[in-house]
Amino acid sequence: MPFPPEALRCDAPCGIGPDGRRQCWFVVRVEAEALRRLGLHPDQPTAVVDGPGPPGWWHAEAERRAHR
């Protein structure tokens, strides 16, 4: 992973959901400076989507190749 371990924080909070059943979820936090080094901080122009996503066939082909 491109982040140093001390730049990450992972939590797994649990609680009672609206339906009365227990629910758990994951929260992953990354320090802002670690994101800036990769150009991923929301304040940086490189973090903004500037065009359309890849076509559907591209994603399907990536899935096929991942399972080989």
> Which residue ranges make up each domain of the chain?
5-66
| Dihedral class, residue 66 (left if φ above 0, else alpha if ψ from -120 to 50, else beta) | alpha
> What torsion do the CA atoms of 37, 38, 43, 44 make, to the nearest 10 degrees?
110
How many Cα atoms are found within 13 Å in the side-chain-facing hemisphere of 68?
Answer: 5
Query: If the chain, 68 residues long, is cut into consecutive pieces of 10 residues, what is the mean pLDDT of each piece?
Result: 85 90 91 87 80 86 86
| Res 17: pLDDT | 86
pTM of the model: 0.52
Query: Which pLDDT belongs to residue 40?
Result: 83
User: Are the CB atoms for 16 and 23 separated by under 8 Å?
Assistant: yes
* pLDDT for residue 29: 92
